[in-house]
Structures are given as C-alpha cells and as structure tokens.
Chains A and B, each alone.
Chain A
C-alpha cells in the first residue's frame, strides 16, 4: 500500500522549466546582437556584402555539419541512458565533447586565417576599408566568439555529466541533469544555425 513512498519525488517539470527560462535569457542575449546585425546590415548593405565575401563557406559548412552531428549524439546519449545502456551513453557523451572540440579547432584555424590576412578588430587593414566592413567583422568576432565560449561551457558541462554517469549520480532513474545539459547544447546548435547563413552565406 505504501508503494509510492519508496519512489523518490523528482520535479522534472520544474527542473526543465527553470532550464528553459535560462535558455530564454540566452535567446535574448544573442537577440540583442542579432538586432545590431540586422540594423547595421540595413544601413551598410554594400559594405556587409563585400565583407561577407571574405568568409569562406567551406569551414562554416563543415562546422555546421559537426555541430548538427553533435546534437544527434547528445540526443542519443540521453535516450541510451534512459534505456539503461550506461556505456553506450558514455561513448555518445564523449563523442559529443569531441565534436565540440573539432568545432573549436576549426574555429581556431578560421580565425587564424582572418588574422593572418589582417582582419581583426582595429587592424590597419580593416580600418582602411569601409565603416560597415569594420562593423561586420566586429559583429562576426563578438557573435561567433560568444557562441564559441558557449560551446566550451557545453563541453565542460558534458564532462561533468560523464563523471556523474560513471558515479551513478546521473542514471536511468535520475537523468534530468543530462537532459538539461542536452537542452543547453541544442540551444547552442540553434544559435549556430542562424549565425551560419547570416555571416557565411548571405552576401
């Protein structure tokens, strides 16, 4: 008769609601930057057109595929854990971290190339060009930079989740920490989904 008393009460709805509220603040953080981008693009459309042509589509496209794939491994790792396949979940979590790392390594090469060509904030090369191009590269570095920091934070969170999965603090009975980490990782993916066309594709 006291069956239910043995089941620990877990407020998953509350935990997820809290995570989503945090994600909304993240949307508005990037939203402010998207507002700046759209206004400057409208005011300096010609300069944005020239500056966007400097960014190679290839690395951006590779990074898009990398991040989309990492979202798949993240989602699969949660499903695996909930089915009780702990090791499979750990492998998938590790794969997600490695894909995040691959994303950042690509970003490193990409930024190195821009800096090598003389395009970095307040560089003489850039200041000699149109005002709108300075704004384009400024926004590019700030937005992909803040996004990159989010990827790094996500990788850190998943590392903690791997440790929790190993010790059993995250398990098929108590997976909300991993679920919320997944929500964060997917949001970072969603933001990249918009950054990719805005900076690399639309010229």
Chain B
C-alpha cells in the first residue's frame, strides 16, 4: 500500500551501503579525470556525477518510497534544465 510505503524506515546497512557506493564513485570520478580522456572527460564525469545524484535522491531522499506523482514531478525541473541548456547550445553552435 502507498500509505505503508511512506512509513518505511530504511535499514542502517542500506544507508551505509549507499554511502560506500558514493565513495567508490567519487574515487572513480577522480580516476577518470586523471586519465585525461579529452572530450570524453566531461561525459564520463557527468555520467558518474548523475549516478551519485541518483543514489542520493533514491535512497537518502527516500524517493524510492514516494508516490509516483512526486517521481514524475522531479522530471519537470530536469526536463526544463535540459531543454534550456540544449536550446542554448543550438544557438551557440549554429548561430
């Protein structure tokens, strides 16, 4: 039930596991930057950052246990930002 899910208390070991995952991804992102991947560097680091952000949102911010409406709402600011930044780049590249 939706109501029961909201009352869920995450186990300590789950939180600690997420934290360990976040530290591992931090080590990975530093490693990725050291490799000097050039153009790929930005993509690789942003991908790792987004994985870390997703872990924080899903477990620490309890998005996993929230109602669907909230999860869908989160897509609104993400989509807005993507559109704004995307369209601006079309302007810069093809002006």
Contact = CB atoms under 8 A, between A and B. Distances in A.
A68 B18 CA distance: 10
Nearest to B31: A201
Interface string B55-84: 011011110001100100110111011001
Contacts of A28: 77, 80-81
Contacts of A68: 19, 22-23, 26
A6 to B, nearest CB: 18
Contacts of B57: 186, 190
A35 B88 contact: yes
Interface residues of B, number: 45
B70 A17 contact: yes
Contacts, number: 119
Interface string B5-25: 010011010011011001100
Contact of B15 (A31, A72, A83): A72
B11 to A, nearest CB: 8
Interface stretch (A57-65, A113-121, A154-162): A57-65
Given A31-B77, A75-B60, A38 B89 contact: yes
A15 B29 CA distance: 35
Contacts of A24: 73-74, 76-77
B19 to A, nearest CB: 4
Given A42-B89, A68-B22, A82-B9, A193 B70 contact: no
A35 B86 CA distance: 9
Contact of A79 (B10, B33, B41): B10
Contacts of A138: none
Interface of A: 12-13, 16-17, 20-21, 24, 27-28, 31, 34-35, 38-39, 42-43, 57, 61, 64-65, 68-69, 71-72, 74-76, 79, 82-83, 179, 182-183, 186-187, 189-190, 193-194, 196-198, 201-203
